[in-house]
Amino acid sequence: MARVYNFSAGPSMLPEEVLKTAAAEMLEFGESGQSVMEMSHRSKEYQAIFDETEANLREIMNIPDNYEVLFLQGGASTQFAMLPLNLMTKNGKADFIITGQWANKAYKEAARYGAAREVASSKDKTFSYIPKTTAADFDPEADYVHICMNNTIYGTKYNTLPDTGDVPLVADISSCILSEPIDVTKFGVLYAGAQKNVAPAGVTIVIIRKDLIGNAMDITPTMLNYVTHAENGSMFNTPPCYAIYIAGLTFKWIKKMGGLEAMKELNEKKAKLLYDFLDNSKLFKGTVVAEDRSLMNVPFITGNEELDAKFVAEAKKAGFVNLKGHRSVGGMRASIYNAMPIEGVEKLVEFMKKFEEENA
């Protein structure tokens, strides 16, 4: 068996230890005589897995008691509709900062249910930076302000949160959840699809301040109402049981690694290796302004499309896969989520150096 270094933006690498535990427990979890996949979600065994998973997430992220943690289906994309249906209900308005495709999708979907307003955008420069805003830019009557914290496609990240005054801040953290500590109390809602940094696709984590639950529009489908899931411990219907179990294994792995401070340190080290190389390379260059660079997604180009394609193909042969940039931007992108070992980044940089010598 030869595992590759997988730089996919998502679904992406999972920690090898998590996969090994899942493999060892595949046929029988504990003394249950069954796989987690086969368990009733109403069973004592499964409830214990679920409760431990939620407790560990609360501990790792330091989530206060006045926040509900929900494990839902439908991906981050379903939140683009759930958020306006549930939150855009006091004044029927919400503000959006457009930092890429995901932020734009959230904005477009919200516009179907109320007065969604674009406050700022970085579209003018292919989303290569985070636009600056001040409190005065936001409508104090907006029901919420939406941002995408880490822009998976373009490789930018909020390093300073926008000041939204008393308006609840809602953030899509799909591609940066658990990559570093985050002050949950600064947000009304945080949400993330699992397939970047947590688990296989299928579970979506929503962390929502309790006072924001319970004001949904009348037209809200039962399954899209946060109340439904909050009142039923995320078990109104069958939850994505197996993905939640894998998320639980990832949370245990993060605890063992030393928690989010340790993850941050490791992620900064990994990202620095790559950015330092890009900053000094004569062939490759990063596409994002230095102060807004992501720790998780690193896009770069040679400036020559043929050379980009050659690099991606040769990298693949050498065991570095999924380095092709998003179809909307081209070039390359290395996604270096929590599960990417530092050796993977070191070896990628070595390979890039060699490619540069041969092709510059």
- 174 is a site residue for ligand PLP (CB under 6 A): yes
Q: Residue 123 Cβ, how far from ligand PLP at the closest point, in Å?
A: 16
CB of 152 to ligand PLP, least distance (A): 3
Cβ–Cβ under 8 Å, residues 189 and 321: no
Of positions 75, 114, 325, 344, contacts ligand PLP by CB under 6 A: 75
**Contact present, 236 and 228 (Cβ < 8 Å):** yes
Q: What is the nearest approach in angstroms of ligand PLP to the Cβ of residue 240?
A: 11
- Cβ-based neighbour number of residue 233 at 10 Å: 16
Which stretch in 24-32, 168-176, 231-239, 265-273 sits in contact with ligand PLP by CB under 6 A? Answer: 168-176
Q: Is 215 in the site for ligand PLP (CB under 6 A)?
A: no
Per CB under 6 A, 172 contacts ligand PLP: yes
At residue 151, φ and ψ (nearest 5 deg) are: -95, 95
Give buried/exposed letters for 329-346 (b at 16+ CB in 10 A, else e).
bebbbbbbbbbbbeebbe
Q: Is 148 in the site for ligand PLP (CB under 6 A)?
A: yes
- Written as six digits, the tokens of 138 are 């936001």
Query: Considering beta carbons, is residue 29 or 109 the nearer one to ligand PLP?
Result: 109
Asked whether position 155 contacts ligand PLP by CB under 6 A, the answer is no
Which entry of 95, 143, 157, 172 is annotated as an active-site residue? Answer: 172
Report the residue number, 75 or 352, with the smaller CB distance to ligand PLP. 75
Q: Is 164 in the site for ligand PLP (CB under 6 A)?
A: no
Whether the ω angle into residue 299 lies within 30 degrees of 0, i.e. cis, is no
76 binds ligand PLP per the rule CB under 6 A? yes
In this structure, the chain runs to a length of 360
Q: What is the secondary structure of 92-138 as a DSSP string? A: SEEEEEE-SHHHHHHHHHHTTTSEEEEEEE-GGGTT-SPPP--GGGS
* Type and span of the H or E element at 255: helix 241-257
Binding segment for ligand PLP (CB under 6 A), chosen from 69-77, 126-134, 179-187, 306-314, is: 69-77
175 binds ligand PLP (CB under 6 A): yes
| Residues identified as active-site | 102, 172, 196
